[in-house]
Chains A and B, each alone.
Chain A
Amino acid sequence: MVRETPEVSAGSTADIAFLLLIFFLVTTTMDVDSGIVRKLPPPLPKDAPTPPKVKKRNVYTVLINSRDMLLVNGKVGSLDYLRKDVKEFLTPHVPDNPQYPETEETELDFIGKYNKSKGIVSMQNDRGTSYKTYIAVQNELAAAVRELRDALSKQYFGMDFKTLLDTDKDKAKAIQKAVPMAISEAEPVNFGGNK
């Protein structure tokens, strides 16, 4: 004789699920990590040739001292107009204008002939510079490049750079080539005195 096994009550599954749910609710951290992405230069080999000299007009220097003050191209600068200034500097100026960096005609996919700016932003900070200021400057420089890319992207492809990056990687690469992230960080120095 086969006796039927009584059905197990499922009434408590809700409670069990609730317990698990509460556990996960408590342990969850929803924050997505985000930040400014940068690439470090590779380590220099010992017998590295001296890098070619860059013309002065092609370099935009930003120095930050240990008191978080900015020296931009030899003058006291401010975070408020750094972005606008860098944008102007990196915008290709045709015909040649000696106040701005040289341009170089390059052949790019999708875009065709484009006068690329040879400008480089050089950034140097002191050991005593606060991280906050450093990030603020990095942010302004990144914003300047991003805005230039956006403008170019709108002009050629009719959308901003971020959308372009999601839809067409090759076209985005062309934009990246036209407006490179030309930020170089010099080896750090200690010109502020106090650490």
Chain B
Amino acid sequence: MAKFKKEGKKKLPAVSTASLPDIIFMLLFFFMVSTVMREVTLVVKIKAPEASEVQKLEDKSLVSFIYIGKPTSALRAKWGEADRIQLNDAFAEVNQVRDFISLKVEKIPEYKRKKHIVSMKVDENSKMGIVTDVKQELRKANALKINYSTRKMAVEEK
């Protein structure tokens, strides 16, 4: 029988962890670049409807968001059950939409203003009445490009 060599004193060298920070940094940069910070806290509850014919919103700086839905359960006691509009961080009325849009458009550099787009994030159970009111306001504010925010639905062939 062969004798095993005694290797008791020889230890496996530890794996170098010097490159660990680099790996972590790479991950970090990936997340930093891909992160979109939440800019507003929602005060209305929104569950977007489903659709298959969707287009992506390209440049976030050119988009104004209008939220429509029922107040969140915490705010329901104060604000009631009816559908409401949210602009920025607070509830708003229909007549405030125009000012909101013009303020937003002013911030966009002149040569990009044509690309301004309004994203309507509307709860699927909302009624069209309030949506129509907002759309009429948008027409008056000359913000004609709109995007009905939807969830992507699996495309089925018909």
Q: Which residues of A contact B (CB under 8 A)?
A: 10, 13-14, 17-18, 20-21, 24-25, 27-30, 32-43, 83-84, 125-132, 134-136, 138-139, 142-143, 146, 188, 195
Q: 8 Å CB contacts to A: which residues of B29-68?
A: 31-32, 34-38, 48-57, 60, 63
CB proximity of B81 to chain A, nearest CB, Å: 13
CB proximity of A34 to chain B, nearest CB, Å: 4
Question: Mind listing 17 A-B residue pairs with CB under 8 Å?
Answer: A18-B24, A27-B38, A28-B34, A32-B57, A33-B63, A34-B54, A34-B152, A35-B51, A35-B55, A36-B148, A40-B135, A43-B139, A83-B158, A127-B129, A129-B127, A129-B128, A130-B125
From B123, B140, B150, give the contact of A36 (CB < 8 A): B150
Does B101 sit at the interface, judged by CB under 8 A?
Answer: no
From A10, A34, A130, give the contact of B128 (CB < 8 A): A130
Q: How far is the CA of A139 from the CA of B21 in the complex (A)?
A: 48
Q: Mark B4-37, 1 if CB is under 8 A from A, else 0.
A: 0000000000000100110011011001101111
In the assembled complex, which residues on chain B have CB atoms less than 8 Å from the CB atom of A195?
127, 129
Does B102 sit at the interface, judged by CB under 8 A?
Answer: no
In the assembled complex, which residues on chain B have CB atoms less than 8 Å from the CB atom of A43?
139-140, 142
Other A-B contacts than A21-B28, A24-B31, 6 sampled, CB-CB below 8 A, are A28-B31, A40-B146, A131-B125, A135-B148, A139-B53, A195-B129
In the assembled complex, which residues on chain A have CB atoms less than 8 Å from the CB atom of B149?
33-35
Q: Mark B88-119, 1 if CB is under 8 A from A, else 0.
A: 00000000000000000000000000000101
From A18, A35, A131, give the contact of B131 (CB < 8 A): A131
Q: Are A14 and B144 in contact (CB under 8 A)?
A: no
Q: Are B27 and A21 in contact (CB under 8 A)?
A: yes
Q: How far is the CA of A132 from the CA of B130 in the complex (A)?
A: 14
Q: Are B28 and A17 in contact (CB under 8 A)?
A: yes
Given that A14-B21, A130-B124 are contacting pairs, would A36 and B32 also be in contact in the complex, using a CB cutoff of 8 Å? no
CB proximity of B61 to chain A, nearest CB, Å: 13
Q: Are B145 and A39 in contact (CB under 8 A)?
A: yes
Q: Are B128 and A126 in contact (CB under 8 A)?
A: yes
Q: Are B28 and A39 in contact (CB under 8 A)?
A: no
Q: Are B55 and A136 in contact (CB under 8 A)?
A: no
Given that A34-B54, A34-B55, A83-B158 are contacting pairs, would A14 and B20 also be in contact in the complex, using a CB cutoff of 8 Å? yes
Q: Are B125 and A188 in contact (CB under 8 A)?
A: no
CB proximity of B15 to chain A, nearest CB, Å: 14
From B48, B128, B140, B147, give the contact of A37 (CB < 8 A): B147
Q: Are B146 and A37 in contact (CB under 8 A)?
A: yes
Q: How far is the CA of A195 from the CA of B146 in the complex (A)?
A: 24
Q: Are A132 and B31 in contact (CB under 8 A)?
A: no
Q: How far is the CA of A37 from the CA of B145 in the complex (A)?
A: 7
Q: Are A42 and B35 in contact (CB under 8 A)?
A: no
CB proximity of B141 to chain A, nearest CB, Å: 9
Q: Are B150 and A131 in contact (CB under 8 A)?
A: no
Q: Return the chain B residue nearest A18 by Cβ.
A: B24
Q: Are A131 and B28 in contact (CB under 8 A)?
A: no
